[in-house]
Amino acid sequence: MSFLFGNRSAKTFKPKKHIPEGTHQYDLMKHAAATLGSGNLRLAVMLPEGEDLNEWVAVNTVDFFNQINMLYGTITEFCIEESCPVMAAGPKYEYHWADGHVVKKPIKCSAPKYIDYLMTWVQDQLDDETLFPSKIGVPFPKNFSMIAKTILKRLFRVYAHIYHQHFAEVVQLGEEAHLNTSFKHFIFFVQEFNLIERKELAPLQELIEKLTTTNAKDPTLQR
């Protein structure tokens, strides 16, 4: 599979972000994985008793980055400049990229370019020990909640693009159950801790209602 991002084309998409073994966050990650294994997603997202909320949000944000990274990686051959000239989630929602630092004024760009910018930006945040400390005793920044909310809001846009523009390819690859489970986990998590505003979730609101209120095995967007 090729990854065509101009001069970045030599890279495969993004390396998986690892939480160091031996850290408390690693233990939390193992706890999260074990609870997920029970199949009860609502239970899996709840803050474990006695744990720090920032650490729990940090561990899960890393996990969602890895999940979305992998899911998007399977459909990059379909998400190209020609088929996705803008970063859209259906006809009503279009996203322009800005990170507030390097790109201060939002720029219109293709979906693959937007997602490359987005995932690179998220990875830079996750790798910054002042924002996402992995060592015990190193405090999270005071604005950590805002940082995490921005990351999760932007990661949601990748799900939204995949569902609206590439669901047929996901079905073709036989990955719709995996995508639905990953997205359902993501939604339960952001709802549990009120991490994404409802208006930001609008592109997938109908799907969110289906996933969170029914036991449908293969919910899809009504076209």
**What tens digit of pLDDT does each residue of 7-22 get?**
333 333 555 667 777 6
Domain that holds residue 168: 20-83+126-213
Q: Is residue 99 one of the residues assigned to a domain?
A: no
The rounded Cα 25 to chain-centroid distance in angstroms is: 19
Residue closest to 153 by CA, chosen among 105, 110, 107, 202? 202
Q: Is residue 205 one of the residues assigned to a domain?
A: yes
Please indicate if the annotation marks 109 as binding a ligand: no
As a whole number of angstroms, the distance between CA 140 and CA 133 comes to: 6
Q: Is residue 219 one of the residues assigned to a domain?
A: no
Backbone dihedral angles phi then psi of residue 107, each to the nearest 5 degrees:
-115, 140
% the chain with pLDDT above 90: 65
Helix (H, G, I), strand (E, B) or coil at 28: helix
Please indicate if the annotation marks 96 as binding a ligand: no
| pLDDT tens-digit series, residues 134-191 | 887 789 999 999 999 999 999 999 999 999 999 999 999 999 999 999 999 999 999 9
Please indicate if the annotation marks 79 as binding a ligand: yes
Q: Is residue 88 one of the residues assigned to a domain?
A: no
Q: Is residue 106 one of the residues assigned to a domain?
A: no
| pLDDT tens-digit series, residues 74-106 | 999 999 999 999 999 999 999 999 877 777 788
| Count of domains for the chain | 1
What Å distances lie between residue 33 and 36, 44, 59, 153, 161, CA to CA? 5, 8, 11, 23, 26
Q: Is residue 223 one of the residues assigned to a domain?
A: no
Contact present, 57 and 195 (Cβ < 8 Å): yes
Q: Is residue 45 one of the residues assigned to a domain?
A: yes
Per-residue confidence (pLDDT) for residue 200, from 0 to 100: 96
Per-residue confidence (pLDDT) for residue 27, from 0 to 100: 72
What phi-psi label fits residue 151: left (phi over 0), alpha (psi between -120 and 50 degrees) or beta?
Answer: alpha
Q: Is residue 121 one of the residues assigned to a domain?
A: no
Please indicate if the annotation marks 84 as binding a ligand: yes
- Residue 45, domain CATH: 1.20.140.30
